[in-house]
Amino acid sequence: MAAKKLRRAQLSQELCERLSRCQITTCQDFLCLSLLELMKVTGQSYYEVQKLLCKVSRACAPKMQTAYEMKLRKSVSPSSAFLSTTLHSLDRVLHGGVPCGSLTEITSPPGCGKTQFCIMVSVLATLPVSMGGLDGAVIYVDTESAFSAERLIEIAGNRFPTYFDSDEKLFCMTRSIHLYRELTCCSVLKRIMSLEEEIISKKVKLIIIDSVASVVRKEFDTKLQGNLAERSNFLTRGASMLKYLAEEFSIPVILTNQITTSLSNSPVIQADLVSPADDLSLSE
Amino acid sequence: MQREVGALPLAPALRARLTAAGFQTAQELLEIGPCGLSKEIGISKEEALEALQVVRQECHGDAARTAGGSGATRKFTALELLEEEQAQGFIITFCSALDNILGGGVQLTKITEICGAPGVGKTQLCMQLAVDVQIPECFGGVAGEAVFIDTEGSFMVDRVVDIAAACVQHCQLIAEAQQEEDHLKALETFSLENILSHIYYFRCRDYIELLAQVYLLPEFLSEHSKVRLVVIDGIAFPFRHDFEDLSLRTRLLNGLAQQLIIIANDHKAAVVLTNQMTTRIGQSQSTLVPALGESWGHAATVRLIFHWDNSQRLATLYKSPSQKEATIPYHITSHGFRDVQPPAVTQSAEGTGMNPRKRPRREEEKQ
């Protein structure tokens, strides 16, 4: 929305040309200027510039919906709101399962079973809706090279022996889990940014990133000057893109995090808050 | 009265031509007609007419100001302000300890900022306020509507349904205890669908959408004149990434703060913002401070900081022009934002409309 060109914001042609001569071509450039700068650049009076601001704002502002409309829309399709984890007490606590349309973070010390949980949830997502799955593909971004395809087949075969009764069904399931090995922050971010088209073309219904913490902690040493800002920049950019994908396609996104000791006297704390606005956090 | 041409809100090119032609004050411009002006400085007659209308408007605005009438700047005596403040409503939060330290609740026409670590309850309080602002006047509320601008995507409709249902139930209990006519009449319109229909939700994905929405807010508020609460949940999130130029960020945030102050005053609405916490790395230790820098600290009138103490959630009133600093514990229950110990529900307490501190609105409810 921010990159919307001014031409499409219904400004007059000559005004757009005049603005592009000052390198103002998108709504973002326009709205970042102060009123006085806008007057200088457009050559118009104060009141005219205010009207222009309203016009450009209307082009990029979000649509209004009342909370009632949102509730009605949700109640139309209630079953698609969660991905059940098949662990009944966990589902009860989460009011149904891993929610679609928002980010879920799983944290724990090493060896507790985060990757195993992710592998199991990937199997669940490929199951048909009648069995509680999402009947779709899975995108699995692996930064620790911890994903084991053999383990995947073992879980599938043992958990749902009646469904995966033939090799063909197993191969069908493995074909729909797309694994990406990314080893640097840069490549993880690039992968996240490129997910939109893949989600549409491959009919993806679940995104798993295992794990964000390992790649961030490898590259950013927070004791160094400036690294904290860069790290939070990277994290918030990734988080906002993932949130957009989760909301736009109404799919669950699962991230895993690590627990580390802080160097002060306080007890063990959570490392790397991936995004201060994550919706749910499961700590083991 | 003698405004200089350079200070008039005309187009810069026009101003340049006027000064080149020798006009120095607005008075000189008013003496000449549009045809004369167009001939002198070489612009079309329509443009000259427009310019003269702008100048006339400005000069009349000036005259009204110097005569002490109501112009763009407002003049009050402190007594008038006191009366206005006393008659003003507060939006209660259902946590009486928090209402007490705030002096009655979230104040209208002021900007309140809520800072806190993730998961501590900022969005919960915002959702609670969006429901509480709609409480009818006979129950002690302000009977307004709410605008909810969400930048983080943490607004959950199901949760608002729970909070609203608990609020309606609470009002029903009061109405049954009191058995007054207007209570029952108010309850007819205070239903779940009505509450949800009067929460206007905007989802802004980046700072440009947020800026655009705030530019459009005055128009929206004039159309929906009953709005008494504007919540921006997550003012820090869109500004914390993708900003290489920190001075631009400070400028945009200051502009945003100014507009919100104007909106709060003009429309008699409370503005509630939520902010994140960030780590400030000091000499030997690091502390948690509100995000967006020191200059943003001046934007809000009232600042609340939510934090944890072992497993108890605490709210600290950090900055307020009229109340002293205090810390209180609170709870988030399935009904919403609540006190740690539910206050004793007695007949007299309910009689003052759920908030004993608030100035009573009706004679019969005076204790």
Residues A82 and A191 placed together within one structural domain of the fold = yes
Same domain, A26 and A122: no
Interface size, chain A vs chain B, as Cβ–Cβ contacts under 8 Å: 143
Strands B270-275 and B111-116: parallel
Q: Could you give the CA distance from residue B249 to residue B243 in angstroms, rounded to a whole number?
A: 7
Q: Is A86 part of a structural domain of the chain?
A: yes
A33 shares a domain with A83 = no
Confidence (pLDDT) at A31: 86
On whether any CB of chain B is under 8 Å from the CB of A25, the answer is no
Q: What is the pLDDT of residue A230?
A: 79
Backbone angles phi, psi at B37, to 5 degrees: -60, -45
Are residues A52 and A135 both part of a single domain?
A: no
What is the reported pLDDT for B199?
93
In a domain, A19, yes or no: yes
B284 contacts in A (CB within 8 Å)? none
A107/A15 same-domain check: no
CA dist., res. B305 & res. B317, Å (int): 6
Does the pLDDT at position A146 exceed 80?
yes
Mean pLDDT rounded to a whole number for chain A: 81
Give the pLDDT of residue B365.
37
How do the pLDDT tens digits run along chain B, 367 residues long? 577 877 788 888 888 888 888 888 888 888 888 888 888 888 888 888 888 888 888 777 666 555 544 445 677 888 888 887 777 778 888 888 898 899 888 988 899 999 988 888 899 999 999 999 999 888 888 889 999 999 988 888 888 999 999 999 988 888 888 877 778 888 888 888 899 999 999 998 888 899 999 999 999 999 998 999 999 998 888 887 767 778 888 888 998 999 999 999 889 899 999 998 887 777 777 778 888 888 888 888 899 999 888 888 889 998 888 888 889 888 888 888 888 875 554 443 333 334 444 443 443 333 3
Q: pLDDT value at position B64?
A: 57
Residues A36 and A154 in one domain: no
Chain B residue with Cα closest to A99: B156
The pLDDT score that the predictor gives to residue A85 is 85
Task: Compute CA A64 distance to the chain's CA centroid, rounded to the nearest angstrom.
Answer: 23
| pLDDT, tens digit, 9 for 90 and up, residues B180-237 | 777 888 888 888 889 999 999 999 888 889 999 999 999 999 999 899 999 999 888 8
Structural domain harbouring A95: 76-258
- What's the fold here for domain B78-339? Rossmann fold (3.40.50)
Give the A window 228-247 contacts with B, CB below 8 Å. 228, 232-233, 236-237, 240, 243-244, 246-247
- Look at A68 and B242 and tell me if their CB atoms are within 8 Å: no
Helix (H, G, I), strand (E, B) or coil at B54: helix
Largest CA distance in chain A: 75
Closest residue in B to A69 (Cα) is B197
Q: What value does the CA radius of gyration of chain B take, rounded to a whole number of Å?
A: 25
B92 and B355 Cβ atoms separated by less than 8 Å: yes
Q: Measured between CB atoms, does A65 come within 8 Å of chain B?
A: yes
Tally the C-alpha atoms within 13 A of residue B330's C-alpha that lie toward its C-beta: 29
What confidence score (pLDDT) does residue B262 get? 92
Indicate whether A92 pLDDT > 70. yes
Question: Across the interface, do B206 and A1 touch by the CB < 8 Å criterion?
Answer: yes
pLDDT of residue A261: 63
Q: Does A27 sit within 8 Å of B208, measured CB to CB?
A: yes
Cβ separation A1–B208 shorter than 8 A: yes
Residues 183-222 of A with CB under 8 A from B: none
Nearest CA to B129 out of B7, B19, B233, B261 is that of B233
Q: How many CB atoms lie within 10 A of CB B165?
A: 16
- Residue B334 · residue B127 · CB < 8 Å: no
Q: Where are the domains of chain B?
A: 5-61, 78-339
* Rounded distance between C-alpha atoms, residue A213 and residue A114, angstroms: 13
Same domain, A115 and A224: yes
Judge if A245 and A109 occupy the same domain.
yes
What is the pLDDT, as a whole number, of residue A273? Answer: 43
Q: Are residues A116 and A165 in the same domain?
A: yes
Are residue A117 and residue A202 in the same domain, yes or no?
yes
For B286, the enclosing helix (H) or strand (E) is strand B286-290
CATH number at residue A17: 1.10.150
**What kind and span of H or E run contains B158?**
helix B157-178
**Whether A155 and A52 share a structural domain:** no
- Residues A113, A171, single domain; the answer is yes
CATH of B5-61, one of 3.40.640.10, 3.30.1330.60, 3.30.230.10, 1.10.150.20: 1.10.150.20
Which of B268, B143, B140, B237 minimizes the C-alpha distance to B198? B143
Residue B73's pLDDT is what?
63
Give how far B63 is from chain A: nearest CA, Å: 20
Residue A20 lies in a domain: yes
Cα distance between residue B160 and residue B126, in whole Å = 10
What is the CATH classification number for the domain harbouring A108?
A: 3.40.50.300
Number of domains in chain A: 2
Decide if A278 is inside a domain. no
Sign of the dihedral through C-alpha B218, B224, B226, B231: negative
Least confident of A195-199, A274-278, B220-224, B236-240: A274-278
